[in-house]
Amino acid sequence: MEHANHWQLVNQRLMARILAECSYEGLITPQNKGQDRFELDTGEHRYQFQARRTPWDFLWIRPQTLLRNGFPSSDAIQLVLDCRQAFAMGDITLGNFIEELNNTLAGDLLRQRALAGRTAAQLLDLPPVRLETLLDGHPKVLANRGRLGWGMDDLHRYSPEASQPVSLHWLAAHRATGLRVYGQPAPEQCLTTDDREELAPYLQSRDWQLVPVHPWQWQHHIQPQYAAMLEGGNLVDLGPRGHHYLPQQSIRTLSDLDAPGACDLKLSLTILNTSCYRGIPPEPMALAPELSAWLATTASTDPLLAATGLTVQRELGGVHLPHPHQQQVAGTPYRYREMLGAVWRESLAGKSAEGEQAWIFAMLMQTDADGTPLVAEMIRRSGWSVERWLTRLFDRVTIPLYHLLCRYGVGLVAHGQNLGVIFRQWQPERVVVKDFHGDLRLVEGDHPMQAGMPDSLAGALPRLPAAHLFHDLYTGHLVTGLRFLSPLLEDYLGYPERDFYRLLHDRIVQYQKAYPDLAHQFRTFDLFRPVMERVCLNRVRFRIGYGDDAARPTPTLGPELPNPLHPTNHQTLETCDE
């Protein structure tokens, strides 16, 4: 069924996300009025809706039931205005946030129109690179398509939901520019045969490096900000050339359309989206190639990681060209330090064999235009029961990530866009990890992870207290991924969420029994604590606003979170407030 009013639908879904996430973060407190009926009193207005409270102290809302003062409502911006006192935003921040939300609605509208008429089964039959363009954004970020700096032409040319091929702009940078090169950049993988022949003098020279640039970045930032280098001849404009690419959900990372399975490209894109400007900082780039190679070797030699098939999308190399004037300003906004950079990374498609399917984890949280989850169709095609399928998913995804944390003290920010999952016959086969460019950290102190890790890495990687590193897994994977997967299985396949988390609890216990030598680490990274820290992203934006800063923003904490993995929390779950 094609929805006649896509605008109404995307507004209702955004309203549901605003109510659910702001309630989850402790900013608002809708009251249960009996059974599945909830009400939020904003002072001047009342919002009513139907929902159930999940094990995460999270409201799973039915968007089509939303009422404002007793009448159907589909105005997400007005909801924010009605809640402005609870959100405690100043007018300057609120005005910017409204712009982000309108941009998000524009992207959602384009995506919804592309989804219209396609069933879950039809979506699963799309090539993974095409399906990824139709996925939702980060589910817990309200303005997850905010993209400040883009207009409508940019949305229709460069966004994932537009699904349009992108031609890159290329530069040749001389070493005299201050260019930094890390690992083994692979520009030749991105170029046609004619390009390689024409650009051979640059490709074969030790003094020059080819640098790909996103066409939007070239137009809006590189041409004016690097004009001195371009005019001086140390930075040469080679024009649009090379393969065609398709934006992934992260926008600045691109998949090669002309050579499927070839490396992905991650490019600087100075737009504010979700939590920060999407440039590429140079510091982690220096470690990423060696780090991902070490992790790939570790995955192949560690008995559990090898048995479960944990796979690494290695970062092959990168380039960064600092701005000659901005780098002389110690406290300049971080976006000016990250304007021109590129990372070459192995692709997810290149990690799957014949007969396998590879998707990012976020696909498991996706529904079709009518709300039917893709994961429900996937489980049906697998021929397995829900419990058997989930057992394999936990054993091949969650347990390897937990083992990596406990055995090696390595934390990955494991949200739905950073994890890939490879399937065989629609059954989970192995997890694929990526994004070592700033998203991999080590635990403080002495830890077994030193075994086999080069001193150059162990001494240079960011170190965090165990309590912080723990949330790369808990908040990154469980809260940001499983929190949105488990209610879909209850609603559409009748598999209760309490059984979902009881099963995950049991799989973790089985893993822990098999590794008694890690008992101390299991206590350090305790997945079974009765309450957890509630890490919040939207609170941060409301608090810090939109002003420039020398450092990227960091999350903040909300009220304590009851842990669904603690036995007393998953044995009996109520669907309404006490």
pLDDT in tens, 72-98: 999 999 999 999 999 999 999 999 999
Higher pLDDT: 547 or 117? It is 117
On whether the pTM is more than 0.85, the answer is yes
The answer to whether the CB of 343 falls within 8 A of the CB of 181 is no
CB proximity list for 400: less than 8 A, separation 6 or greater? 304, 305, 308, 310, 431
Query: Which pLDDT does position 277 carry in this prediction?
Result: 86
What is the residue type of 227?
A: A
Tens digit of each residue's pLDDT (9 = 90 or more) over 198-255: 999 999 999 999 999 999 999 999 999 999 999 999 999 999 999 999 999 989 999 9
Distances (CA, A) of 333 to 50, 57, 270, 336: 44, 37, 12, 6
- DSSP summary character for residue 482: I
Q: Bridge partners of 51?
A: 61
Average pLDDT over residues 96-112: 96
**Three-state SS at 384:** coil
Given this model, what pLDDT does residue 409 score? 87
pLDDT given at position 575: 37
Ranking 164-168, 397-401, 418-422, 446-450 by mean pLDDT, the lowest is: 446-450
* Per-residue b or e along 56-76, where b marks 16 or more CB atoms closer than 10 Å to that residue's CB: bbbbbbebebbebeeeebbbb
Whether the per-residue pLDDT at 197 is higher than 70: the answer is yes
CA separation, residue 210 to residues 18, 189, 220, 234 (Å): 44, 12, 20, 12
Closest CA to 180 of 395, 327, 73: 327
* Reported confidence tier of residue 573, pLDDT bands at 50, 70, 90: very low
Token pair 């304007």 is found at 339
With a cut of 90, say whether residue 310 has pLDDT above it. Answer: yes
Q: Please state the rounded mean pLDDT for residues 289-299.
A: 91
pLDDT at 449 over 70: no
For 465-483, the pLDDT digits (tens) are 888 889 989 999 999 999 9
**Domains of the chain by residue range:** 6-132, 164-286+317-349, 354-523
Instruction: Give which of 570, 446, 467 is closest to 509, Cα–Cα.
Output: 570
CATH topology of domain 354-523: Transferase(Phosphotransferase); domain 1 (1.10.510)
Q: For the segment 355-410, what is each residue's pLDDT rounded down to a tens digit? A: 999 999 999 999 998 899 999 999 999 999 999 999 999 999 999 999 999 999 88
pLDDT digit string (tens) for 403-435? 999 999 888 888 888 899 999 999 999 999 998
pLDDT of residue 521: 93
Q: What is the mean pLDDT of the chain?
A: 92
Work out the widest C-alpha separation in the chain, in whole angstroms: 74
Specify the pLDDT at position 416: 82
Domain range 6-132, CATH class: alpha beta
Q: Of 325, 356, 350, 323, whose CA–CA distance to 337 is shortest? A: 323
pLDDT score at 438 = 64
Q: How far apart are the first and last CA of the chain?
A: 39
